[in-house]
Amino acid sequence: MTERFFAPCPRGLEQPLATELAALGASDVVPGEGGVALMGELDLAYRANLESRIASRILWRIGGAAYRDERDLYELVRAIEWTRYFKPERTLRVDIAATRSPLTSLEFATLRVKDAVCDRFRADRGVRPSVDKRAPDVRIHVHLTE
């Protein structure tokens, strides 16, 4: 199944990274600010994580939409079928980065994302994952823009 990914890299290296990822078999390779968007099978992400000399990591993009406030962010995150990606026995951590985000508090946004994930698990499975800030099993990276 084709998935969407994002490969962050140092600024200025987006085009060489795009060339590298295309050579690894990525499709729909689009250089952007600070990285490259790409599509491919999950095994491509594993291979790119191991073989890329430019990307700092490969992030699996599982959601995205327009938002205005923390309530919109909560609803967007809660709509994701989290049980497809990990089990509630796993621990999680949420990290948020923002570029010109309209939200006033990234700390509050982090809590809302965590609440949305846990609330979705509770609704679907009756249990929720725990948070582990030091050594989580799953890291959820959120990038907010304007």
- Parallel, antiparallel, or unpaired: how do β-strands 27-32 and 3-8 relate? unpaired
pLDDT of amino acid 40: 98
Q: What is the pLDDT of residue 144?
A: 95
| The pLDDT of residue 21 | 98
Q: Quote the pLDDT of residue 82.
A: 98
> CA distances (Å), 70 to each of 18, 40, 95, 116, in order?
33, 31, 15, 11
Q: How confident is the model at residue 62 (pLDDT cuts 50, 70, 90)?
A: very high
What's residue 9's pLDDT?
Answer: 97
Digit-coded pLDDT (tens) for 76-88 = 999 999 999 999 9
pLDDT in tens, 12-52: 999 999 999 999 999 999 999 899 999 999 999 999 999 99
Judge contact between 32 and 15, C-beta under 8 A.
no
For residues 58-63, average pLDDT: 97
Rounded to the nearest integer, the mean pLDDT of the chain is 97
Q: How confident is the model over 50-73, as a mean pLDDT?
A: 96
Tokens of 48: 């790119």
For the CA atoms of the chain, what is the radius of gyration? 16
Residues linked to residue 92 through DSSP beta bridges, in sequence order: 131, 138
pLDDT of 104 reads 92
| Confidence bin at 133 (pLDDT 50/70/90) | very high
How far is the CA of 145 from the CAs of 88, 100, 102, 103, 116, in angstroms?
29, 6, 8, 10, 19
DSSP string, the chain: --EEEEEE--TT-HHHHHHHHHHTT-EEEEEETTEEEEEE-HHHHHHHHHH-SS-S--EEE------SSHHHHHHHHHTS-GGGT--TTSEEEEEEEEES-S-S-HHHHHHHHHHHHHHHHHHHHS--PEE-SSS-SEEEEEEEE-
Is residue 94 within 8 Å of residue 117, measured between CB atoms? Answer: yes
Question: What percentage of the chain carries pLDDT values higher than 70?
Answer: 100
In the chain, what percentage of residues exceed pLDDT 90? 97
